[in-house]
Amino acid sequence: MDGLMPGVEYVFQLRGINKDTLGEPSEPLRLTTMCQVPPPPGQPCCLEATPSTIMLHWSPPSTDNGSVIVAYSLQMRMKGQVKYETVFDDIGNDSAEVSCLEPKASYIFRVRARNVMGWGRWSQEFKVETKTPAVPESPTSLECLPAHNSVTIMWPHLQVEG
């Protein structure tokens, strides 16, 4: 039989036939076609970047090759480094936030999908840079207390919005 879908259970029965009679069907034969690991997901893209975090999203593989995608693995490396480190190894959806990154640094990410047959190939790499930290505001009013050989300068505490 050709044209069957991967990872799908099929039931087959056979009957004998001659020019006059149709025989009884055989016992049902159940079999599931083999499936394969999934192809690579879409290249990650950046939904949002801050000085210390990057929110990534990717599209699922074009096919699951006969078995539902059960997880994604995300790896990263800093630009200029060769070795990847695994950030998450069991992501249940198609996005992830990576935190504790260095400000104004370039990172390269890749993702892969897993089904019951195992891990597929890695996606295309995606390079993204974290944002530059905001420049702190200067104090608006300064107070000075001069002494004979020193000066004490005071200013109001600034609230930093997070």
Binning pLDDT at 50, 70 and 90, where does residue 134 land? confident
pLDDT at residue 158 in the model: 61
Domain count, the chain: 1
In a domain, 23, yes or no: no
- pLDDT tens digits along 9-61: 899 999 999 988 989 999 999 988 878 899 999 999 999 999 999 999 999 99
Q: How far apart are CA 101 and CA 79, in angstroms?
A: 13
Tell me if 105 is assigned to some domain.
yes
Q: Does residue 139 lie in a domain region?
A: no
Looking up residue 79, the CATH number of its domain turns out to be 2.60.40.10
Q: In this structure, what are the phi and psi dihedrals at residue 41, rounded to the nearest 5 degrees?
A: -70, 175
Are residues 139 and 158 in contact, defined by beta-carbon separation less than 8 angstroms?
yes
Residue at 136 is within a domain: no
Domain enclosing residue 73, as ranges: 45-129
Q: Is residue 151 part of a domain?
A: no
Cα angle, residue 113 at apex, residues 64 and 91 outer, rounded to 5°: 125
Residue 63 domain-assigned? yes
- What is the per-residue pLDDT across 67-122, written as a single tens digit (0 to 9) for each? 889 999 999 999 999 999 999 999 999 999 999 999 999 999 999 999 988 999 99
Task: Decide if 64 is inside a domain.
Answer: yes
Residue 161 lies in a domain: no
* Residue 93 confidence (pLDDT): 96
